[in-house]
A and B are shown apart, each in its own frame.
Chain A
Amino acid sequence: MTEQKSLLAVFHDLEPAADAVEQLRRLGIHDDHMSVISGVPVTEPMLGRPHQWTNVPRIAMGGAAIGMAVGIALSFWAPNMYAIRVGGQPFAPVPPAIIVIFEMTMLGMLLSTFLGVFLDSFFPNYRPLHYVPEISDGKFAILVECSSMDETKITDMMKKMGAESVQDAEAQHL
């Protein structure tokens, strides 16, 4: 059985990194077995990478629905807890309820958006991870999982494409 390896190639620019991604695919590396790490956001089309799935908008919508439910409850159910008419207004009037419902909906949506980033990105994550600090200096890194048989072939290709370094990726505490 062949051993699995993780390689981390560091590129100075986006263009050679995107070319290397294409070449990796030609060498039979599936997109699921590589990832690009960068210090600046680059979109999937720039790298020629498949669309990244995110649950953040769905989680946000879920939070908004919960927030709205809380707002409705506070406006129409809560007055029953202490039944008293105020200012000659109906017991549970609609106009003030709109304000309470709006605020609670937005709070629910924004809290859950924040939570969504944590859930989708597995934050906080203090376990050892594959990383090199040069990334935050604007470099682009490609993390590739491959069999040890392909290691030399991939390393040579990456260097040919302009990688500054290609190394065995070792998970480390950041």
Chain B
Amino acid sequence: MSEKQQHDHEKHLREEHLMLDPLPRGQMNDMVMESMHTTSWKFWAVFFILSAFVAWGLFYSWGKMILEGLGIAGVNRPSYWGIFLVNTVFWIGISHAGTFISAILRVFKAEFRRPFTRAAELMTTFGLVQAGFSIFMHMGRVWLSYWLFPYPNQRELWPNFHSPLTWDLLAITTYLLSSTMYLFLPLIPDLAMARDKSTGWRKNFYKVLALGFRGTEGEWTHLRHAMNIFAWAIIPVMFSVHTIVSWDFAMATRPGWSSSIFGPYFVIGALHSGMGAVVLVLGVVRGTMKNMKYFIRPEHFDGIGKLMLMISMGWGYFFFNDYLVQWYGGDKWTKQLLHWHEAGPMGWMWFAMLIFNVVIPWAVLWNRKWRSTPWLVGTVGLLINFGMWFERYIIIPISLTINRAPFTWRLYKPGIEIPLSLGTLAFFILLYMAASRLIPLIPVWEVQEGQMAHEFKKFGRETVVTVSELE
């Protein structure tokens, strides 16, 4: 390889990989701060439209349902569980992406994770907020939700710890608190950076949140240990959450639900929708926020795209396994249910689920060039989310239609659930937009740490990239 070819090769690698293209830390800090401060009229237009959606879809509609009762929702015999629980499962699924990217990729030292861990972690926290809303909506009489908590009372009400619903409460609470803490810990150094770079009310805001962090050896040591503990410990918590969510269904001995494979099937489904959502969010962040093209590059879409492809294959495997075992069993009601899924009035949803979750991801993500194209892989992510929402809709209200008492069969038709669903979606995006103005979306210190660890090394005549173990 000639010297010029060598030079071109290194230049190409630099353009491709953020970790090989370092900028001075001060400049990266300024870029991230600028991205937070630069707000166009389009941002505010979307922000106000979403606020109106939240006001109508979430608060007005929920208030109306509280005043008039659950009767204005579509849930009724036999589908007592409707879109509220579809949304609960969906949002908990979305929340899995943050932990997957931040914890699993950290544990496996996947370097490409560095610039977008926070963007994914934010999804975990904000997704769980929407899941929480959805559960409370389903509850109906939300003002009595304290009955869920174990406390001695005159009526001798006591949560049943043998019930998957109580396990769910414990698991989701654990996951929400853990993922919020896991979001906050690595954020502290970036909040300190923002404090040092800000004036006025922002300075005071970051000063309070940065807690007096300076970056002493002790502070870094405590933080590093804590983040290692979190990265290892939050992984089994993540697996437990969606497994327990699946047990809400699988513990019931009804057709389509009573399946021993539901736990891993739900976990892989959660990762599928979560990764799809991450790639979509990254595409929007890269396309709309200033300076983000430096931090979020096609290599990141390529990396996530590979994971999406693997997860899609995993989802296909578990889906087929679940389907085949039920089909082969030959139970009369299960056969009715499977026929209802495919040939019933909602059959289009069953086929769309397979197309969005399997056919499209496989058709697009095998190709490196397509996988590295932000808008394309973002679109695949969006379609996967449609597919995964359909999957939950099929599992919950559609499957509930078919039971062992045919005189009760009735197709679920949602009512006020629709504005409430749009409200939670708008609230998720709104929270994310607000966070993008207040929180450094890029963990700059983690990017710099990664850039310090990467260098070129010559093996014979070839220049290769090496990564040093700095921890």
- Report which residue of B178, B222, B224 has the largest number of chain A beta carbons within 10 angstroms of its beta carbon: B222
A123 and B24 contacting across the interface, CB-CB below 8 Å = no
- Per the CB 8 Å criterion, the residue count for chain B at the interface is 65
Report the separation of the CA atoms of residues A38 and B158 in the bound assembly, to the nearest whole angstrom: 52
A-B contact pairs, 30 of them (CB 8 A): A37-B216, A39-B215, A41-B224, A41-B449, A49-B217, A52-B217, A54-B221, A60-B226, A74-B150, A81-B156, A99-B170, A103-B171, A103-B240, A106-B174, A107-B170, A107-B173, A107-B177, A110-B181, A113-B229, A114-B226, A120-B222, A121-B219, A124-B208, A131-B214, A133-B196, A136-B29, A136-B215, A138-B25, A174-B192, A174-B196
Report the separation of the CA atoms of residues A121 and B222 in the bound assembly, to the nearest whole angstrom: 7
Among B177, B181, B208, B229, which residue has its beta carbon within 8 angstroms of that of A56? B229
A96 and B162 contacting across the interface, CB-CB below 8 Å = yes
Among B26, B173, B208, B230, which residue has its beta carbon within 8 angstroms of that of A137? B26
A93 and B171 contacting across the interface, CB-CB below 8 Å = no
Q: B243 — nearest CB in chain A belongs to which residue?
A: A99
A168 contacts the other chain (CB 8 A): no
B77 contacts the other chain (CB 8 A): no
- Report which residue of A87, A106, A124, A127 has the largest number of chain B beta carbons within 10 angstroms of its beta carbon: A106
A138 and B212 contacting across the interface, CB-CB below 8 Å = no
B471 and A43 contacting across the interface, CB-CB below 8 Å = yes
Taking CB atoms, residues of chain B closer than 8 Å to A125 are 211-212
Chain B residues engaging chain A, CB cutoff 8 angstroms: 24-26, 29, 150, 152, 156-163, 166-167, 170-171, 173-174, 177-178, 181-182, 184-185, 189, 192-193, 195-197, 207-208, 210-226, 229-230, 233-234, 236-237, 240, 244, 445, 448-449, 452, 470-471
Report the separation of the CA atoms of residues A144 and B224 in the bound assembly, to the nearest whole angstrom: 24
A67-114 with Cβ < 8 A to chain B: 74-75, 78-79, 81-82, 86-87, 89, 93, 96-97, 99-100, 102-104, 106-107, 109-111, 113-114
Taking CB atoms, residues of chain B closer than 8 Å to A100 are 161, 166-167, 170
Taking CB atoms, residues of chain A closer than 8 Å to B448 are 39-40, 138
A113 and B24 contacting across the interface, CB-CB below 8 Å = no
Number of A-B contacts (CB under 8 A): 191
B157 and A99 contacting across the interface, CB-CB below 8 Å = no
Minimum Cβ distance to chain A for residue B459 (Å) = 25
Minimum Cβ distance to chain B for residue A103 (Å) = 4
Given contacts A35-B218, A36-B217, A138-B448, 8 further A-B contacts (CB under 8 A): A37-B216, A86-B162, A99-B171, A117-B226, A118-B211, A135-B196, A135-B215, A137-B26
B222 and A117 contacting across the interface, CB-CB below 8 Å = yes
From known contacts A138-B26, A174-B210, infer whether A35 and B445 are also in contact, taking CB-CB under 8 Å: no
A124 and B211 contacting across the interface, CB-CB below 8 Å = yes
From known contacts A78-B158, A106-B174, A136-B192, infer whether A174 and B212 are also in contact, taking CB-CB under 8 Å: yes
Minimum Cβ distance to chain B for residue A115 (Å) = 9
A126 and B167 contacting across the interface, CB-CB below 8 Å = no
A81 and B216 contacting across the interface, CB-CB below 8 Å = no
